[in-house]
Amino acid sequence: MQKQLATFGGGCFWCTEAIFKELKGVEKVVSGYSGGKIKDPNYYEVSEGTSGHAESIQLTYDSRVISYEALLEVFFLTHNPTTPDRQGNDIGSQYRSIIFCHDEEQKNLAEKVKKKIESEKIYDGSIITEILPYENFYSAEEYHQNYREKNPDAPYCQFVISPKLTKFRQKFSSLLKK
């Protein structure tokens, strides 16, 4: 097994966690905070938008089953990477589009995939996703982990996550766990 780590911020971590958990080769997805300077932040500190952290996910995946490049494509095509500090109704720097690279290879692939998606003119605006070296990741509180599974009837899950998952499943059906 070739276990690797990937760390992405693509808006609300409840949405990104739900999406990446469905990919074959992804073994674990943890919701948390990354990119800021406050050690061991909590949800309230991050929600204020002054911690520097982005709501993020960190996933463990088997690179023999799914490539980092495939993960990047899913990342770029399942959120809007053209809006600064915003995903839908979620507004603030904690919702920015960001990739935290664990090594030089991840950085090079992130830049390559970003250029490819931008050249395909999928989005009206320019992709503003930050690509930064990984420095830290702090797990979010337990009630944020597996949020959709624990709260399937919550309005956010019904009206935001579920429609996003439907589109994702159609577009990436070949990458889904059976």
The residues carrying an active-site annotation are 12
Distance CA 123, CA 48 (A): 29
The secondary structure element, H or E, covering residue 16 is: helix 13-20
Helix (H, G, I), strand (E, B), or coil: what is residue 126? coil
Distance CA 153, CA 34 (A): 28
Distance CA 55, CA 11 (A): 7
Sequence-distant (≥ 6) Cβ neighbours of residue 121 within 8 angstroms: none
Distance CA 151, CA 161 (A): 11
Phi and psi (nearest 5°) for 33? -130, 140
